[in-house]
Amino acid sequence: MKIPKNLPDFVGAVLSIVLGVVVSIEGFRIRSHAVSQYTLDHTLPAILGVLFIVLGTMLMISTMRDQEHEQDKRRTLPSPYQNRMILSLSTLGLYFLMLNIMGYLLATLIASVLLFRIVGTYRWARSVACALVLTGSLYLVFIKWLQISFPAGIFF
């Protein structure tokens, strides 16, 4: 078998298949402790194991098929999707750093505005409006309704 040029997909497919086999074996092993054949603790591992095996096999077939039809496309500059992903991850890292300094509400509002702008490609006014609605909803549900405490920061 020839290793494909898209090595990350190939490795992911192999890991998915191996993980699926391990999880299926574990589900089969704990089946002996079950009262019912169709319910209890062994059912979810069995379903997940089969799902991992099927999806890993599909990814491996897709990787092998892409290798046959692939032309050598080399990009020197990152694509717009890669730029969005890098900006999104940077925003989440910034959110992590801002959380204890600015507090949950302000950090969530700023991160939401940036993520709506980067991922959703909304204009600034719409990004701010969506972020206000999201932050307000999260505040009502988690802080007021469920009484969960979040970092207050230096501003609140």
Predicted structure pTM score: 0.53
Give the pLDDT score at 36: 61
CB neighbourhood size of 52 (10 A): 20
- Cβ-contact 17, 60 below 8 angstroms: yes
Instruction: Give the span between the Cα atoms of 143 and 66, in whole angstroms.
Output: 49
Give the pLDDT score at 60: 87
Give the pLDDT score at 2: 62
Domain residue ranges in the chain: 7-69, 80-145
CA angle 92, 139, 133 (to 5 degrees): 75
Give the pLDDT score at 40: 65
CA of 61: how far to CAs of 56, 57, 70, 96, in Å? 9, 6, 14, 38
Low-confidence stretches of the chain (pLDDT < 70) are 1-4, 31-42, 66-78, 155-156
User: What are the pLDDT digits (tens) for 117-134?
Assistant: 999 888 999 999 999 999
Give the pLDDT score at 62: 85
